[in-house]
Chain A
Amino acid sequence: MNALLDTHGLQAFYGDAQALFGIDFTLSAGELVAIIGANGAGKSTFLKSLTGLLRAPSDAIRFKGESIGGLPPGEIVRRGLAMVPEGRRLFPSLSVEENLLMGATPRRAGPWNLQRLYGLFPILAEKRRQPATSLSGGQQQMVALGRALMSNPEVLLCDELSLGLAPVVIREIYAAMPAITGEGMTVVIVEQDVRMARQVSQRVYCFQDGRVSLTGRSDELTPEQISQAYFGIEESHA
């Protein structure tokens, strides 16, 4: 098994409070993996640890065979791991295009550039000079997604793309996924919408209270298994 990205017993803390209790996670090149779980299960914490926004022990995270735990976020994105953060976090004083250009800061070579993005999301080309936060929620999510793509990552981490968006808008965003994964991009999505998560992904991890409570192929897991892992009716399986 040649993992592109994997974690071994990853723990994470907010001050004294432990948020992750030993996550074992593995990701192969070209996969689309979904992480589901209730609020506070540690999904966002996990992505923050991967991208360096939260301190992690060096050996707990390996990317392309190298330990990247504890590296600064800028170094991790330069190595090819980019994130669409929860709540989009666009730069309010930058225009749409300026936000996208910020994503290109690591100067990695690859298929994604302004032109390609505008082809994928034509509405952004139309609104490129507008302040990013003046756009609708769905359009802002397109900017956030595009900003992460502009770094031409090998692995794209998406934290709650559907947060606060109407179902029709969520479908519109996810409709862009094939164009993204079509380039061989490896993608991890954190998603509250279990149905959507299973639909777009090949494998699913379910988190519960900072542990992996279930993992398997998206098309093989039964709804009963998922709801048990999601809501934790029994003791955690970790």
Chain B
Amino acid sequence: MLETLLQGVLLGGLYTLFALGQSLMFGVMRLTNTAQGDFIILGAFAVIAGVSMTGASVPWGVVLAVLPLAFGFGYLLQRHVLNGTLGKDPLPSLVVTFGLSIVIQNLLLELFSADPRAIEVGALATASVPLGDTLALGALPLVILAVAVTATGAMQWMFTRTPLGRTFRAVSDDREIAELMGLKAKQVYALATGIAFVLIAIAGALQGMRTTVSPSDGPLLLLFAFEAVIIGGMGSFWGTLAGAMILGIAQQIGFRIDPGWGIWFGHLVFLAVLVLRPQGLFPKTR
């Protein structure tokens, strides 16, 4: 049982990274990015392409190089595409990101074929940390969990303690008044999406290291991100982390009962939260 819980928490770490970008974009501009999963996969393939082009034996340098590119990509995407879809009606943004999802999937299929690929991390992929006599945890999943917790803490700090976070909250509260104060909402949105895309690229790189990725994986990752955000509620990034942990643990318990039940079990918990507590477990506290 302990092992199931621990594996669930480790899985939840990955899901946290899937969800943080979504949580940020929704929190700042009420934009649901239905291409979130596909952008994660795009991030993974960007690292794969970078590794094969540079012939690097370890991917870490390539990952670091991809992060600023991801920021720029997100910034420009928001500036030139997504800002035009925002408004009282959520439909345009849903349709446009859904369209982007299809474009990305087909682009990746064209460039990389449908074969699953992975990002090689050498010995780290199989290394494990023993815990007592019978239990061992994978080193890579532990690294992912550490990255997830660090990223969540950094996002929460940025959002609540820094001038940038203050502008994010102000624009989210009341765009008109924020603009009256001299803020450029469209630029603030672009910064938020840029940061979200850094998180997306980190998620993609780690997903590619932990398992394999193929161009059609995106929608399932989107679903996990979405479930984590909804379960956690929109109150804080820690809520997103908690939602992701709950989802990960639920899936592991499902896997334990029957190998075919894992993802389904996650959906059940998601559904239960949606019915019993639609505002999520940790809704906005102030």
Give me the interface of A with B, judged by CB distance under 8 Å.
51-53, 72-74, 77-78, 83, 85, 89, 91-94, 98, 101-103, 105-106, 131, 147, 151
Contacts and interface: CB of A to CB of B under 8 A. Distances in A.
Contacts of B184: 74
Given A85-B180, A91-B169, 15 more contacts: A72-B179, A73-B180, A73-B182, A74-B184, A91-B178, A92-B286, A93-B286, A94-B169, A101-B163, A102-B166, A102-B170, A102-B181, A105-B167, A105-B182, A106-B182
Interface string B151-181: 0000000000001001101101110111111
A94 B182 contact: no
A91 B183 CA distance: 13
A22 B50 CA distance: 63
A228 B15 CA distance: 68
A91 B180 contact: no
Contacts of A83: 180
A77 B286 contact: no
B23 to A, nearest CB: 15
B237 to A, nearest CB: 14
A80 to B, nearest CB: 11
Interface of B: 163, 166-167, 169-170, 172-174, 176-184, 284, 286
A92 B173 contact: yes
Contacts of B176: 53, 73, 89
B182 A93 contact: no
A72 B166 CA distance: 21
A102 B286 contact: no
Contact of B180 (A53, A92, A101, A131): A53
Given A53-B176, A93-B286, A131-B286, A147 B170 contact: no
A91 B177 contact: yes
A91 B182 CA distance: 14
Given A85-B180, A103-B181, A91 B286 contact: no
Contacts of B167: 102, 105
B190 to A, nearest CB: 15
B179 A101 contact: no
A146 to B, nearest CB: 12
20 contacts: A53-B176, A53-B180, A73-B179, A73-B180, A77-B180, A77-B182, A83-B180, A85-B177, A89-B176, A91-B169, A92-B286, A93-B173, A93-B286, A98-B169, A101-B163, A102-B166, A102-B170, A102-B178, A105-B183, A147-B181
